[in-house]
Amino acid sequence: MVEQEQGTGITVEALAPEYQAQAQQWAAQLGLPLNDDSAAVALQVGADGLQLQQLGAQAPGPVRVDFVEGQAAHRRLFGGGSGQMIAKAVGVAQGVRPQVLDATAGLGKDAFVLASLGCQMTLIERQPLVAALLADGLQRARDDHEVGPIVERMRLLVGNAIDTMHAWQGEPPQVIYLDPMFPHREKTALVKKEMRVFRPLVGDDLDAPALLAAALALASHRVVVKRPRKAPIIDGPKPSHSLEGKSSRYDIYPKKALKA
């Protein structure tokens, strides 16, 4: 069940009568009311799948996951391939496509980039609404002849990443990738539509040190933490080195070398 803070009610609604049954299924699955007029946020079901819409006069447009078109398609086609900083950070190289656990999946943007480069991805998302959007986006993308094979390399788990890593069964992931929600208040970060909608729901990842510790205990080869460029490192062991871009930084915690 989705936890709701007081005054931030969430409802599920169909955008057309033919999606009412799906809306009822999502409402039951997430433990949310249908068509609550007092809600501040609506999970909407329509022709384009699931979307999250903040309600009110000044609300931004809906947030949805689309791996086939838009930003994801542009980055897949023109983003720089294995030369991208995220690819270098996780260890993508000639003959090397590591198995990666993205323990803070969010809307799956970074995981999709790595999957498009050939990495086998496991994604963990703990916020049920965000996980629902991600699951819906993955399902719709499977029907696309170009993107379908990419999202087949993406497996989604819903739950607390720290608990999941502590209870991990089988072969550990070679690389664990973390992008925790950072409690900074730069205006540029809050302008983004996703942040305006999600921050009241998701909050800050105040357990980031425990997340890092669990990742370091589980990963076989390295842990990578994405941070705002000027943010401090997460409390705990220091990274061996970082890759720095215009707005983001990748802190790298190596355990052993990735080999072809």
Chain-centre distance for alpha carbon 177: 11
* Integer CA distances (angstroms), 227 to 19, 88, 125, 185, 243, in order: 39, 15, 18, 14, 10
CA atoms within 13 A of residue 126's CA, in its CB half-sphere: 18
> Rounded to an integer, what distance in angstroms lies between the CA atom of residue 244 and that of residue 249?
4
Query: Would you say 13 is a known binding-site residue?
Result: no
Q: List, as one string, the DSSP characters of 91-141.
A: T-BTTB---EEESS-TTSHHHHHHHHTT--EEEEE-SHHHHHHHHHHHHHH
Residues 68 and 140: beta-carbon distance below 8 Å: yes
Question: Other CB atoms closer than 10 Å to residue 35's CB: what's the count?
Answer: 13
Query: Would you say 125 is a known binding-site residue?
Result: yes
Query: Would you say 126 is a known binding-site residue?
Result: yes
Residues 100 and 135: beta-carbon distance below 8 Å: no
> Rounded to an integer, what distance in angstroms lies between the CA atom of residue 203 and that of residue 167?
24
Binding residues: 125-126, 179
Which residues are annotated as part of the binding site for S-adenosyl-L-methionine?
125-126, 179
